[in-house]
Amino acid sequence: MANIEMIIDDIRVSLMNDQRVVMLKQKEGARYLPIWISPAEADAIAVKMHNIPLSRPLTHDFTCAAINALSASVQSVSISGLKRDTFYALVVLRAGREEKQIYLDCRPSDALAIAVRENVPIYADEEVLKKAGILLDKEAGKSFGPSSEGVQMGQRAGKEHIDILSESVEDILTESEAEAKRLNCSYVCTGHVLMALSKRMSTATKIMEDAGVRVGRIQVDVQALMKEKQAIEGGGIGLTPPVKEAIGVSIAEAKRLGSGKVFPEQLLLGLVRASDGIAANQLKNLGIAPETVYLGLIRYFHPYTLRVPILPAEGTGTVSYGKGP
């Protein structure tokens, strides 16, 4: 049951790669619920929060108008579920003389865009908050899961265009091959990729350092681990299956976050999630989990932050800009 009332606290925009995340905050509490959405959906929410006049109605304006024309009304919206890294949402309508409740399945961004237009409450299921809620206090220790509106994780690498890789990631993969040759390996495993990643300062290395990892030690530690457990990924020529999986996950991350390129932080997510990979095992031992990376990305966003109450009765309705926490 979606029973925890939320408000839209802010929408964060990365100036580097145009990624967007809408931050829902528990109305009577400290928990946040971050949901990654595309730029178009973020704009649909923001224009109404800003009360920006448009020459023609957007899709969500049309939807609300159609609901009202059919003698129905929007009662509330809810973030109702989280399954296999996908958020689910419902729009709750009341229709007819009997005021029958109708539940419409939709994406969270669509539900939120309707909520801000109809000034109705937003709820989240307690189970969703348990899985994906965070506390932005760095010392709180609460984290959230790697969730988005509608893209499942763990995809295997397919035949993707190489131009989706950023120059920094291409350099890391080139360095991975050099690491493999230096260690007399005929294959490139996730251990080589992690060693190369740790050599270059990036958001990925900053996230690891914030989690207490001595990035400078990673190369030594991973190399020692590979000597002990070469059979985990060894054998054959070229990229090992976990490396292909890591690249596939990285590409999926970039696409679902609206980024045209794969950056080191998305490569780090791929390494963390690669099944039975040397890098995944080592990162796990170092306390780096997918949620650690996601929480780090939230903190390292360089955002324009907008804070507008949904219901006019809760505030003045003014808009202010500033950097997020």
Give me the domains of the chain, ranges plus CATH numbers.
Answer: 2-143+302-322 (3.10.690.10), 162-288 (1.10.1780.10)
pLDDT at position 225: 76
Question: Would you tell me how many other CB atoms lie within 10 Å of the CB of residue 201?
Answer: 11
Is the separation of the CB atoms in 35 and 147 below 8 Å?
Answer: yes
Residue 164 three-state SS = helix
pLDDT band at 258 (very low <50, low <70, confident <90, very high): low
Residues whose CB falls within 8 Å of the CB of residue 114, separated by 6 or more in sequence, listed in order: 60, 63, 64, 74, 77, 91, 120
pLDDT at position 276: 74
**Of the ranges 23-37, 201-215, 220-234, which one carries the lowest mean pLDDT score?**
220-234
Q: What is the mean pLDDT of the chain?
A: 77
| Mean pLDDT value of segment 226-239 | 65
> Which carries the bigger pLDDT value, residue 314 or residue 239?
239
**Would you say residue 188 has pLDDT above 90?**
no
pLDDT at position 229: 58
| Mean pLDDT value of segment 235-243 | 77
| Mean pLDDT value of segment 296-307 | 52
